[in-house]
C-alpha cells in the first residue's frame, strides 16, 4: 500500500521568501517520489523526482527536495519565491508493490504576495 499526505492545502509566501511545501509518504517498499506543479487550467508538469540515487534532488525553476527515509518525508523547497511560482503543487509516490501506480497527495496551493 502507498499514500501521500501534504500538510497545508494553502501556503502564502512573500516574493523573495523561502517556499517550503511538506510531503510525507507511506510505502511498504522503497518508493519513487515526485513533485508535480499545476498552473491554472493546465495539466501537471514534473518538477523533480527521487529514484533512489542522491537524496537531495534538484528540479526545474530552482526547486529542490530532500528524501528523508527516517522521517518518510520528501519536502519541496525554493530559497526565493517568484510571482510565477503561484500554482498548485502535488507530491506523488509510486512503487513496484503497488503496480507502479502513481498516487497523488491532495495538493498545496501556493500564493505569492508582492
Partner 1 sequence: EAGVAQSPRYKIIEKRQSVAFWCNPISGHATLYWYQQILGQGPKLLIQFQNNGVVDDSQLPKDRFSAERLKGVDSTLKIQPAKLEDSAVYLCASSLRTSGHSNTGELFFGEGSRLTVL
List of residues contacting partner 1 (CB under 8 A): 4, 6, 9, 32, 34, 36, 41-46, 49, 51, 90, 92, 94, 96, 99-107
Question: Shortest gap between Cβ of 47 and partner 1 (angstroms)?
Answer: 11
**CA dihedral of 48, 64, 108, 6, whole degrees rounded to 10:** 90
The smaller minimum CB distance to partner 1, of residues 17 and 44, is found at 44
How far is residue 90's CA from residue 34's CA, in Å, rounded to a whole number?
Answer: 8
Close Cβ partners of 101 (under 8 Å, ≥ 6 residues apart): 2, 94
Least CB distance from residue 71 to partner 1, whole Å?
21
Amino acid at each position: 500500500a502507498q499514500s501521500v499526505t501534504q500538510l497545508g492545502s494553502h501556503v502564502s509566501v512573500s516574493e523573495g521568501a523561502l517556499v517550503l511545501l511538506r510531503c510525507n509518504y507511506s510505502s511498504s517498499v522503497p518508493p519513487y517520489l515526485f513533485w508535480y506543479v499545476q498552473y491554472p487550467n493546465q495539466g501537471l508538469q514534473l518538477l523533480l523526482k527521487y529514484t533512489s540515487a542522491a537524496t537531495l534532488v534538484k528540479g526545474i525553476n530552482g526547486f529542490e527536495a530532500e528524501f528523508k527515509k527516517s522521517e518518510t518525508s520528501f519536502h519541496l523547497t525554493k530559497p526565493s519565491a517568484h510571482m510565477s511560482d503561484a500554482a498548485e503543487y502535488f507530491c506523488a509516490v509510486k512503487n513496484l508493490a503497488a503496480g507502479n501506480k502513481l498516487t497523488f497527495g491532495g495538493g498545496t496551493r501556493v500564493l505569492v504576495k508582492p
